[in-house]
Amino acid sequence: MKSLFTKASLLFSLAMMLFACGGKEKKKSTEDVAIATTKTKTLEIEKPQLTFGFIKLTDMAPLAIAKEKGFFEDEGLFVSVEAQSNWKNVLDRVIDGQLDGSHMLAGQPIAAGAGFGRQAELVTPFSMDLNGNGITVSNDVWSKMKPNVPKGADGKPIHPIKAEALKPVITEYKNSGKAFKMGMVFPVSTHNYEIRYWLAAAGIHPGMYTADNVQGQIDAEVLLSVTPPPQMPATLEAGTIYGYCVGEPWNQQAVFKGIGVPVTTNYDIWKNNPEKVFVMTKKFVEDYPNTAVAVTKALIRAGKWLDEPENRPEAVKILSMSQYVGADEAVLANSMTGTFEFEKGDKREMPDFNVFYKYNATYPFYSDGIWFLTQMRRWGQIPEAKPADWYANTIKDIYRPDIWTKAAKLLVEEGNIPAEDIPQTDGYKPVTTDFIDGTSYDAKDPIAYINSFKIGNKDKAIQ
């Protein structure tokens, strides 16, 4: 009996000890939750289950990082990130509601709002990156360009390489009865406008768009056509095109495979230019305003994480995964870790080739969007002249710095970004001449900017 009593006492004591330990553990976990909530102030999320799209390019990185590092989950969001086949598919699936949002060409929501191509009310609260593109030519074209390129004391080509070096090659092709063909990724892509800008700055006509010629090849000395980014190297190798403008890793892939040579980057065409944006429908942000802010918060954090140099090797590993970009780590690292390789062995320091946060990269500036509108008008995608205020009014319906600012202020309160990272701006960057031809760009005077070019449409001021 005594023995039973002793056993019972021991069991009771043990139970009390376990209860006490459990109580302490419970108290500790409650404290942990309290600490966590001071770090991330979760909004009342209207739609926690989300599906986002992307194309297999390095600049989709903020989406991959926001998912892999748990930034979406911190906001109470459960996100699937799905690769898409091409930019048209991306656009259609966002408009049709099959995707809640997507990595997208900066020109796509702008064109949809300006009436070129499929029309829809799309918005962007977040700019995904700066720079990140290059123009690559085949080995044969490069061998003919190279004698026209000035060399430095080390015998290597002096950059930036202007399209003047390509001009005699185009003439040679023309005299032999061959059209000079180059690829870009979509009619309203940054790549289309960048390769056109580069060519036209050298007096090479890249062609005009009209209602009857949606390929944009009227008066063209170079025939530009659409090729999906991952197919660029194979299309170049097959000889279907002689060069292309695309984002990474598909320029470095040409070097890696020994089939082509990048001759310039878009950092040289327009220093710190906007590249991709994150896009949702206007209806989505109206129906789910807190969700839109929460998504933007997670993406801003991802951009900041990406621009901390010590994180780039990990970012390369994540992007090399098959569900994201799926390219070799060595190819991705060429540009993602602060270098860029032109010819094999000619690797140069380029710390700002991929920018995801610095220089207010994530803020959707009206002036960036207006630049795309000026290029659409310059090349005929916008067929009629517009008054200056049309440019400002159009972009304010599409670029949404108000959503970005709400997200950023919450991140400041949480201690995730410093207050000085919120730009004090009216949405316009200062006037700049950071272009390969030195032309001055003032987004508040779009008509004068359009008229400053020798090649392209000219407009009279409309009141």
Whether 279 and 422 share a structural domain: yes
Whether 235 and 162 share a structural domain: yes
Q: What is the pTM of this model?
A: 0.90
Whether 166 and 221 share a structural domain: yes
Give the CATH number for residue 264.
Answer: 3.40.190.10
Domain's final residue, options 251, 269, 287: 269
Whether 317 and 354 share a structural domain: yes
Does any domain span residue 237?
A: yes
Whether 247 and 322 share a structural domain: no
Does any domain span residue 65?
A: yes
Whether 314 and 405 share a structural domain: yes
Whether 283 and 328 share a structural domain: yes
Whether 421 and 282 share a structural domain: yes
Does any domain span residue 183?
A: yes
| Count of domains forming the chain | 2
Whether 261 and 323 share a structural domain: no
Which backbone phi and psi does 207 adopt, to 5 degrees? 100, 155
Whether 348 and 404 share a structural domain: yes
Q: Which domain holds residue 137?
A: 133-269
Strand order in the sheet with 133-138: 223-226, 181-184, 243-247, 133-138, 260-265
Cβ(358)–Cβ(306) below 8 Å: no
Does any domain span residue 204?
A: yes
Does any domain span residue 223?
A: yes
Write out the chain's pLDDT in tens, 463 residues.
434 333 344 343 434 443 334 443 333 333 343 333 346 677 999 999 999 999 999 999 999 999 999 999 999 999 999 999 999 999 999 999 999 999 999 999 999 999 898 999 999 999 999 999 999 999 999 999 999 999 999 999 999 999 999 999 999 999 999 999 999 999 999 999 999 999 999 999 999 999 888 899 999 999 999 999 999 999 999 999 999 999 999 999 999 999 999 999 999 999 999 999 999 999 999 999 999 999 999 999 999 999 999 999 999 999 999 999 999 999 999 999 999 999 999 999 999 999 999 999 999 999 999 999 999 999 999 999 999 999 999 999 999 999 999 999 999 999 999 999 999 999 999 999 999 999 999 999 999 999 999 999 999 866 5
